[in-house]
Amino acid sequence: MFQMWGKLVENNHILQDLTVCIDDEDTRTHKVFRALDEICDAWNLAKPIWLDTNISEFKRRSKTRFTQDNFIESLEFDYLEIQITEE
């Protein structure tokens, strides 16, 4: 089972968190994007833009942070962090 943890953080405090579980035979990449879509939909956020730094960090650590640079609209939090917790 694939499991991704998303959290909204401000001033080093978790404002909200959500775990998304996906149990199918889709590719890892599709699962990541689908889980991120579910997280953003649950919190009514626009989808973040993946920058090169996000891609390389996610490949290395299965974890990345989306800051104001990744969003078009202004944020009411410091960053959105996603992390794969189970594959």
- The domain ranges of the chain are 2-86
Provide the pLDDT confidence category of residue 86 given band limits of 50, 70 and 90: confident
For the whole prediction, is pTM greater than 0.75? yes
Average pLDDT over residues 51-56: 96
Each residue's pLDDT tens digit, 17-39? 999 999 998 999 999 999 999 99
Please answer whether residues 36 and 70 qualify as being in contact, where contact means their C-beta atoms are separated by less than 8 angstroms. no
* Alpha carbons 32 and 55: distance in angstroms, whole number: 12
Query: Please, where are the H alpha helices in 1-81?
Result: 28-42, 52-61
Comparing 24-28, 34-38, 44-48, 75-79, which segment has the lowest mean pLDDT?
A: 24-28
What gap in Å lies between CA 37 and CA 86, rounded to an integer?
18
- In order of 4, 12, 20, 63, 69, the CA distances from 33 in angstroms are 10, 25, 11, 13, 19
